[in-house]
């Protein structure tokens, strides 16, 4: 079992009004933090609520999602400059 996650949120370089694709490059780094083993629960909740789309899950190398800013802003205060309908790119690396 992993020790936790290193999570980063980026602006999308591609059109920000649609979900990113897995091959899309990262834009400007907006936030980064480390979380424990359950540190991706918020992301799972957003996927289940259709506010995020999982792009890849390569055994933690990395988990990539595209997330609606309006859903992430209350959870990550560094995102306040984003437009609510903007999509963001999230990468989470397993720190095991």
Q: What is the pLDDT of residues 58-87, one digit of tens each?
A: 665 788 999 999 999 998 888 888 999 999
Question: Mean pLDDT of all residues in the chain?
Answer: 88
Q: Cβ–Cβ contacts within 10 Å for residue 77, how many?
A: 8
Phi-psi region of 24 (alpha: psi -120 to 50; beta: other; left: phi over 0): beta
Query: Does position 56 have pLDDT exceeding 90, yes or no?
Result: no
CA–CA separation, 13 and 21 (whole Å): 11
Consecutive H or E run containing 85: none
Rounded to whole angstroms, what are the CA distances from 52 to 19, 59, 63?
Answer: 8, 19, 12
CA–CA separation, 12 and 2 (whole Å): 28
């Amino acid at each position: 079992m992993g020790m936790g996650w290193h999570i980063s949120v980026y602006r999308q370089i591609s059109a920000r009004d649609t979900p990113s694709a897995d091959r899309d490059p990262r834009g400007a780094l907006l936030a980064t933090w480390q979380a424990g083993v359950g540190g991706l629960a918020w992301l799972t909740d957003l996927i289940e609520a259709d506010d995020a789309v999982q792009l890849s899950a390569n055994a933690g190398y990395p988990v990539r999602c595209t997330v609606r800013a309006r859903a992430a802003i209350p959870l990550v205060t560094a995102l306040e400059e984003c437009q609510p309908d903007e999509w963001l790119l999230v990468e989470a690396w397993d720190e095991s």
